Amino acid sequence: MPASSRSVLAATLDRRTFVALAAGGVLAAGGCGGRSAPKPTEIAVASPGAGTPVPDVAGFDDPRRWAGRRVRVGAWGGEVQDALRDAVWRPFAAATGAEVVEVATDYAQLHASLEDGAPYADALVADAVWAHGALGAGQVQALAAETIAAAPPRPIAPTDHALPAYAYALVGAYRWDHLAAGPPQSWAEWWDGARYPEPRALFKGALGTFEFALLADGVEPASLYPLDHDRAIESLKRISGKIVDRWWESGQRPVGWLATERAQLASAWHHRVVAGMDDGHPIDIVWNEGLLVADRWVVPARAENADVANDFLRYAVSAPIQAALAGSVPLGPIAPEAFATLADEVAPRLPTAPDNLSQLIPQDVAWWAANGLEAEQRFNGWLLGVP
């Protein structure tokens, strides 16, 4: 994957992972931005007879299945959307005869279109925290029973209104050419300033940073949630002198700092570390005690083509399609069977590969949905010195 494309991927994930904690909560409570958001451009990206190769997906062998029907689908843009277009949307159109129309996920636009009486999309990729409360807020609808049954219960279980789309992870990254003690294998070791005196970087926010601070303070992964804000901040105080001005806000930043030796250790999104490795930098990943995160597929409330959308979701979470997506971008398949067909060099870089998944801690989406704003306020207050 070209470096420029990987930068787009990173920016795409960063934007909604860190902002949607606040935006999703506001939208679920009654709207954010309302009608001020521009309508995403609709692009017909696939239609029957387009000549797209059709993967062998069980139950999807009738190219007349949805003849004359259309389904409007969208994600966050950038490299992820490019990969979805080639690995999911076009094959679905060829397999079913549906016309797939591309839009972009936009919570404000969804809210405005629902107020107008009809959503602008039929299926969207959404942030897990936003999706958690979207059904109760009237933003999305319950999925068909057969759609829910199509998604594997592990590693990330579906709900009655959302299916996991793909996974990624916030992990420990390091320069392997500069650490005399070898890489820290836990956050407790990462916090050990005597053993690791090197400069390090953490995300400038509560997400992940609070989890890692508590793990460093001895909290067991199974007891991590609910997050103890006070204890996390006290733990951060013990390591902040090694961070100083290396609190990162952009997903490219920690890998850039590692590459230029401004930091030797950092928390980072796994896909950015993979990009840095591909660019030849002497960096690597510690999967142990990383935070597993996943986006969700949802069907907006009152979607015009909900029947086609449900069928589309079943197709998107199938193992062959998940494998095709992971082969394009380093995002983890949510169908374990997908790994049977992935290249040997691809699987070790994905968070849901069995060896990596066993070391990760799933994000507690329900906790973040209920407490994310307070957690961010506590973190920012501490960093700014506000009591």
pLDDT digits (tens, 9 = 90+) for 66-85: 999 999 999 998 888 999 99
Lowest mean pLDDT among 42-51, 65-74, 318-327, 368-377: 42-51
- Predicted pLDDT of residue 11: 41
pLDDT of residue 259: 97
Whether the pLDDT of residue 277 is over 50: the answer is: yes
Helix, strand, or coil (residue 59): coil
Given a cut of 80, whether residue 7 has pLDDT beyond it is no
Contact criterion met (CB below 8 Å) for 261 and 174: no
| pLDDT tens-digit map of 172-194 | 999 999 898 899 999 999 999 99
Residue 15: pLDDT over 90: no
40 pLDDT tier (thresholds 50, 70, 90): low
309 against 33, higher pLDDT = 309
Q: How high is the mean pLDDT of the chain? A: 89
pLDDT at 9 over 90: no
Measuring CA to CA, how many Å separate 196 from each of 76, 200, 254? 38, 9, 17
Strands (E), 189-228: 200-203
Q: What would the two tokens of residue 127 be?
A: 């942030």
In this chain, the answer to whether the domains covering 3-167+294-346 and 168-292+363-383 adopt an identical fold is yes
The closest alpha carbon to 283, from 305, 298, 261, 299, belongs to 261
Entry field: residues in the chain: 387
CATH 3.40.190.10 holds for 168-292+363-383: yes
Q: What is the residue type of 146?
A: E
User: Which segment of 57-61, 231-235, 259-263 scores lowest on mean pLDDT?
Assistant: 57-61
Percent of the chain exceeding pLDDT 70 equals 87
Give residue limits of the domains in the chain.
3-167+294-346, 168-292+363-383
Q: Are 124 and 110 in contact (CB under 8 A)?
A: yes
Is residue 8 scored above 60 in pLDDT? no
Q: What is the pLDDT of residue 34?
A: 31
Asked if 136 and 303 touch (Cβ cutoff 8 Å), the reply is no
Alpha helices in 85-134 (DSSP H): 90-96, 107-115, 128-134
* pLDDT tens digits for range 138-159: 999 999 999 999 999 999 999 9
Question: Tell me: the pLDDT tens digits for 200-242?
Answer: 999 999 999 999 999 999 999 999 999 999 999 999 999 999 9
Q: Pull the structure tokens for residue 45.
A: 């990206």
Q: Quick one: fold of 3-167+294-346?
A: D-Maltodextrin-Binding Protein; domain 2 (3.40.190)
Percentage of the chain modeled with pLDDT above 90: 82
Cβ atoms of 140 and 131 within 8 Å: the answer is yes
Q: What is the pLDDT of residue 47?
A: 64
Q: Are strands 70-75 and 200-203 parallel, antiparallel or unpaired?
A: unpaired
The whole-angstrom distance between residue 303's C-alpha and the CA centroid of its chain comes to 24
Q: Residue 313: which H helix or E strand, with range?
A: helix 306-316
Give the model's confidence band at 169: pLDDT under 50 very low, under 70 low, under 90 confident, else very high: very high
List strand residue ranges (DSSP E) for the chain, in order: 43-46, 70-75, 99-104, 123-126, 163-175, 200-203, 247-248, 265-269, 283-298, 361-362
Q: How confident is the model at residue 95 (pLDDT cuts 50, 70, 90)?
A: very high
User: Rounded distance, CA 46 to CA 44, Å?
Assistant: 6
Between the alpha carbon of residue 331 and those of residues 7, 16, 44, 172, the distances in Å are: 14, 16, 25, 17
3-state SS assignment for residue 341: coil
Residue type, 36: S
